[in-house]
Amino acid sequence: MDVTAITTVFVFGTIVGSFLNVCIARLPEGQSVVAPRSRCPGCKTTIAWYDNLPVLSYVALGGHCRACGIDISAVYPMVEVVTGALAVALWMELGPTLAFAGYSVFAAALITITFIDLDHQIIPDVISLPGIALGLAFSLVSPLVTPLDSLFGVLAGGGSLLAVAWSYRLIRGQDGMGGGDIKLLAMIGAFLGWQSIFVTVMAASIVGSVIGLATMLYRRADTRLAIPFGPFLAGGALIHLFFGEQILRFYFP
pTM summary value: 0.90
Residue 240: half-sphere exposure toward Cβ, Cα within 13 Å = 29
Whether the pLDDT of residue 2 is over 60: the answer is: yes
pLDDT of residue 226: 66
Q: Where along the chain do its domains lie?
A: 1-96, 121-253
Rounded Cα–Cα distance for residues 66 and 79 (Å): 21
Mean pLDDT for the stretch of residues 93-104: 94
Residue-wise pLDDT for 24-46, tens only, equals: 999 998 899 988 888 888 888 88
Letter string b/e over residues 38-72, b meaning 16 or more CB atoms within 10 A of that residue's CB: bebeeeeeebeeebbebbebbeeeeeebebeeeeb
Residue-wise pLDDT for 69-98, tens only, equals: 889 899 999 999 999 999 999 999 999 999
Give yes or no for a contact between 80 and 54, defined as CB atoms under 8 angstroms apart. Answer: yes
Q: Report the mean per-residue pLDDT for the chain.
A: 89
